[in-house]
Amino acid sequence: MAPGRSSNRRRRPPKPHDNTPPLRLDCARKRQPGNAVMSIREDIAMLRAVELFAAADPAHLQVLVFAAPRIEAAAGDWLFREGQVDGAGWLLRSGAASAWQARRGEEEKVANLGRGAFLGELAMAARQPHHLSVKAETRLSALRFDHDLFLRVAAEFPEFGRQVFAVLTRRLELSMQELNRVRELFVRARSF
């Protein structure tokens, strides 16, 4: 191809590593104009109910919601698998899902999830691997917030980034305190 010329061919998305069917991406958000405004408001309200975003300005959440692709999944589709690094957080808009985790060599169902559940906070914020798998139990709709989108909003609105990372930092501190408490219990138990 000559320099300065662009190819008209579309790039194909990478194939999944397993045999899970691809999820349907509905970026066009084909809704009636009045319903779109209501839907965005509902999505923002659901995000505000998530501890991670509770203190965020609704205008910043609106940017996230508006830019995030909507994913439609059929019952039985996996949104993501344990150990997968997709750099995405997921907000369940409708439908039901289940969370699974590998235990003793088998996947075990650990939770039922519904409308308003937010999954993959660390995957979205820090590109960490998912610590569980999530499967659609019914037809569902979700918003997918990828790492790059999250960082763009945090860079554009530093207060948003500070608020979200303050919540993550507080959670990490609580986890460290709990680990230290458990460690102390083990140290005491050895003395018997």
pLDDT tops 60 at residue 43: yes
Contacts of 155 (CB under 8 A, 6+ apart): 161
Average pLDDT over residues 55-74: 95
Cα 70 from Cα 42, distance rounded (Å): 14
CA neighbor of 79 nearest in space, from 31, 25, 149? 25
Cα 66 from Cα 78, distance rounded (Å): 24
Average pLDDT over residues 170-181: 87
Q: What percent of the chain has pLDDT over 70?
A: 79
Task: State pTM to two decimals.
Answer: 0.73
Give all domains of the chain, ordered by start, each with its CATH number: 24-190 (2.60.120.10)
